[in-house]
Amino acid sequence: MRLRHLLPVLFLMGPLACATGPGHHVATASDIAVQRAPGELRVMTFNIQSGARGLERVAQVIRAAVPDVVALQEVDVGSTRAKGLDQTAELSRLTGLKYRAHFRTTDLFGGAYGIAVLSRFPLEALAQYPLPVPRGAEPRTLAHAVMEVDGREVSVYLTHLIRRPFNGNTRVRQSAYVARLLAQDARPKLLMGDLNDGPDSRSTRLLRRGLRDVVADTGTLGGTYPLPAFLPTLRIDYVLACDAFTPVASRVLRVDVSDHYPVVADLRLKLDAVARRDGPAVVESDAAARITGAAP
């Protein structure tokens, strides 16, 4: 049985794992045998709202989905809002996804605020690129992590574009910058994150010229950002993949642990997608990101 067929069972198991008292073992992703066929990959994108509804609940959802790579948005490190906690490190510990990096975009509540990645694959290199924003607006960034999947280098890009409902022109500028950068990378690549715009918007269409919308391709069109009352749920969180990947399945998890719903996607890396090393320069920098192995 494929792991994705186990998802409903794992969701039932999750609350039990989180309810264990002192002295009991809390199951993590490392406790669950991750068995994938060569080239199979499960990814997830999740705007966690700085853990406002409970970081352990966020971890429970991630554990239940059993992803290989998670893109996180709105992640705090050391802020008073997070009670001084490094949320990236804590989610790494709680989920068993031991490789992690936090990409700071700005300082909020006395700590670093930005986006992050969790992975069961070692992060071989990192880079971070500031995105264009109007003067005085909250900084935005594009993060880049290179990892080896079944012997092939894969680029995972993460972002969180400027907020809606306004700033449409800025999102177009940001998407154009992202698209140009990704076009220079010959590796198999994914772009995940909160794009803050609908699938038919100018900014999202621009990115879809070179990347496939995995959720649309697999027929799962549920919204990811619920609005109050009678208003529709917006689809603003995405997993986009280049043609080196075949979309297999996807789902939007309607869980009440953030103001966004996470998106999970199963992909298959094509066997002829050979790793290339002539993508954009990728360098590790303390100023750009914090990268760690196993959680302390």
Can you give the pTM of this predicted structure?
A: 0.83
Pick 137 or 11 by higher pLDDT: 137
Residue 259 clears pLDDT 80, i.e. is over it: yes
Q: What is the pLDDT of residue 272?
A: 74
Q: Read off the amino acid at residue 2.
A: R
* Range with the largest mean pLDDT of 110-114, 270-274, 283-287: 110-114
Q: What is the mean pLDDT of residues 178-201?
A: 97
pLDDT 10s digits, 92-136: 999 999 999 999 999 999 999 999 999 999 999 999 999 999 999
Spacing of C-alpha 229 from chain mean position = 28
Q: From the CA atom positions of the chain, what is the Rg in Å?
A: 18
43, two tokens: 């990814």
pLDDT range class, residue 228, cuts 50, 70, 90 = confident
pLDDT range class, residue 280, cuts 50, 70, 90 = low
Q: What is the pLDDT of residue 45?
A: 98
Residue 148 clears pLDDT 90, i.e. is over it: yes
Q: What is the mean pLDDT of residues 52-61?
A: 97
Q: What is the pLDDT of residue 262?
A: 98
Contact 84, 106 (CB under 8 A): no
CB under 8 Å to 286, separation ≥6 — which residues? none
